[in-house]
């Protein structure tokens, strides 16, 4: 993927996620890995529903901006951590829906999703008759420290997770390209909304 292609895909993803209410105000950040190993990522402080291609910048694999003075998303190191850990990841999406935020506040170390048809959207889920554990990690303004905790979690987990939640904050998902990442996010958000609605009906 070229930078121009990545920027266009990121802009389109922002509009799609904004239409769903998953990136309110300046919430969320998106990225795509480029053919040369650098990363296209959203600038800090932009409303993701109104992105232009000039709101996307390039950083190196360690998250350092390649354009002097450019300010990438504050959480760029989390994107870099995903690309470093999962070689097949080509795009990363981070959003803040009501369902993922509320459920992350209530959860322990993971949310188990079981029996949903849309689990087919995740690796290892060829049928609905399966389950996936979505890790939930505590929020931390020290992004490098949070990424170190995620690396430790992934080291201890044999199977790649479908994504992860940051408590009281939002969700991270990834895929081979932007379309795959969006499909995974939409499937996950649907299941999380089902979990939220189910919890409201539980006496």
Q: What residues are designated binding site?
A: 94, 96
Cβ-contact 10, 51 below 8 angstroms:
yes
Q: Is the dihedral of CA 28, 187, 81, 69 positive or negative?
A: negative
187 phi and psi, to 5 degrees?
A: -65, -45
Instruction: Reduce the secondary structure of 142-161 to three states and give it as a string.
Output: CHHHHHHHHHHHHHCCCCCC
Q: Kindly state the helix (H) or strand (E) to which residue 33 belongs, with its residue range.
A: strand 29-33
Please give the annotated binding residues for Zn(2+), written as ranges.
Answer: 94, 96
């Amino acid at each position: 993927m070229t930078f121009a292609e990545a920027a266009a895909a990121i802009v389109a993803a922002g509009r799609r996620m904004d239409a769903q209410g998953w990136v309110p105000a300046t919430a969320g950040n998106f990225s795509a890995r480029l053919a040369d190993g650098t990363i296209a990522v959203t600038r800090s402080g932009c409303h993701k529903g109104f992105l232009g291609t000039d709101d996307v910048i390039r950083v190196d694999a360690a998250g350092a901006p390649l354009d002097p003075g450019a300010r990438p998303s504050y959480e760029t190191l989390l994107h870099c951590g995903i690309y470093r850990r999962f070689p097949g990841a080509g795009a990363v999406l981070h959003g803040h829906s009501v369902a993922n935020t509320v459920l992350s506040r209530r959860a322990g170390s993971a949310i188990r999703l079981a029996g949903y048809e849309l689990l087919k959207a995740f690796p290892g889920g060829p049928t609905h008759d399966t389950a996936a554990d979505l890790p939930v990690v505590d929020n931390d303004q020290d992004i490098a420290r949070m990424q170190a905790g995620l690396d430790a979690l992934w080291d201890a987990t044999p199977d790649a997770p479908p994504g992860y939640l940051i408590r009281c904050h939002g969700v991270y998902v990834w895929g081979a390209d932007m379309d795959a990442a969006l499909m995974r996010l939409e499937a996950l958000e649907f299941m999380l909304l089902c979990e939220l609605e189910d919890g409201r009906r539980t006496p």
